[in-house]
């Protein structure tokens, strides 16, 4: 969250609205139309219900006030405009106050298929539908409060739990395996890969194991954790997560199931 980025959030006017360009609105339209087709029968019902509630515009980037009106009614959450990248203190502080950070920039055409930075498409399309869900909203709020009080080392462990739930979580359903993680649902390639590839390993969610499992942000994930029902997020939020962090620290991390990043030549 502290690395450099070429993207800069657009400022909002006095009414909180952002003046998006015609090209940016077209990029939003193309991203949403493509992803809506890909997530059919792949996204979980809870996500699709939230998407229906949000009723996001297809032809333009939504204004944050439009999203906030729905979230406030559903779970009391709000989205809040932030610069392109924020530090962990700011991130956890927002979540602890039921505010989800959204950077007001959208990827360029050259980054259309993949962007490491969380743009407005990732945040609004990928995450906000499930912020209408009480279990997901409660878990995210709890995570924010824990992270705000945690030290740097503990935050690194907590980040793994967030990664394997909010960002890259899978859900077992009566209709088969479905996706709820926003990092998957905003990525066309990973939406298909997460469910249909034979390469990744998929485990039933064990929070202690998730806390000990390394990940990389710039590759298709080699490991996913699956919930057996959305009520598990409520149960997880009520567990003593920080006690599990202490156990994870004592046990240590699992060996990563991915190669190290190539070293940059000096």
Q: What three-state secondary structure class fits 257?
A: coil
Residue 40, phi-psi category: left (phi > 0), alpha (psi -120 to 50), beta (remainder): beta
Of 46, 123, 127, 209, catalytic: 127
Nearest Cα residue to 184 out of 207, 204, 165: 165
**Per residue in 135-183, pLDDT tens?**
999 999 999 999 999 999 999 999 999 999 999 999 999 999 999 999 9
Residue 265 has pLDDT above 90, yes or no: no
Catalytic (active site) residue 198: no
pLDDT for the residue 84: 80
Q: Per-residue pLDDT averaged across 67-81, rounded?
A: 98
pLDDT for the residue 114: 84
Residues 6+ apart with CB under 8 A from 112: 27, 30, 31
Residues 6+ apart with CB under 8 A from 73: none
pLDDT for the residue 37: 97
* β-sheet bridge partners, residue 203: 225
Mean of the per-residue pLDDT values of the chain: 94
**Per residue in 250-263, pLDDT tens?**
999 999 999 887 65
Percent of the chain topping pLDDT 70 = 97
Catalytic (active site) residue 117: no
Residue 184, phi-psi category: left (phi > 0), alpha (psi -120 to 50), beta (remainder): alpha
pLDDT for the residue 211: 98
CA–CA dist 88, 79 (Å, integer): 17
**Per residue in 195-253, pLDDT tens?**
999 999 999 999 999 999 999 999 999 999 999 999 999 999 999 999 999 999 999 99
Of 46, 122, 190, 209, catalytic: 122
CB atoms within 10 A of CB 63: 17
* β-sheet bridge partners, residue 18: 12
Confidence (pTM) = 0.94
* β-sheet bridge partners, residue 201: 223
pLDDT for the residue 26: 98
Catalytic (active site) residue 127: yes
Of 167, 187, 190, 209, catalytic: 167
Of 46, 123, 141, 186, catalytic: 186
């Amino acid at each position: 969250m502290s690395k450099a980025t070429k993207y800069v959030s657009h400022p909002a006017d006095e009414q909180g609205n952002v003046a998006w360009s015609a090209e940016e609105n077209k990029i939003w339209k193309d991203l949403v139309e493509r992803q809506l087709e890909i997530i059919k029968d792949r996204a979980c019902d809870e996500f699709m219900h939230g998407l229906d509630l949000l009723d996001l515009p297809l032809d333009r980037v939504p204004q944050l006030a439009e999203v906030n009106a729905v979230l406030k009614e559903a779970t009391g959450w709000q989205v809040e405009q932030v610069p392109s990248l924020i530090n962990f203190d700011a991130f956890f502080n927002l979540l602890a106050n039921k505010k989800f950070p959204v950077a007001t920039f959208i990827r360029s055409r050259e980054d259309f298929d993949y962007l490491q930075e969380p743009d407005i498409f990732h945040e609004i399309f990928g995450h906000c539908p499930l912020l209408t869900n009480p279990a997901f909203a409660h878990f995210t709020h709890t995570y924010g409060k824990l992270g705000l009080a945690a030290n740097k080392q503990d935050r690194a462990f907590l980040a793994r739990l967030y990664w394997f739930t909010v960002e890259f979580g899978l859900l077992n359903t009566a209709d088969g395996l479905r996706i709820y993680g926003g990092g998957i649902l905003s990525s066309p390639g990973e939406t298909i890969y997460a469910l249909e590839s034979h390469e990744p390993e998929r485990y039933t969610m064990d929070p202690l194991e998730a806390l000990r499992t390394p990940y990389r942000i710039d590759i298709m994930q080699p490991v996913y954790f699956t919930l057996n029902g959305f009520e598990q997020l409520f149960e997880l939020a009520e567990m003593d997560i920080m006690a599990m962090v202490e156990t994870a620290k004592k046990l240590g991390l699992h060996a990563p199931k991915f190669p190290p990043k190539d070293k940059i030549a000096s």
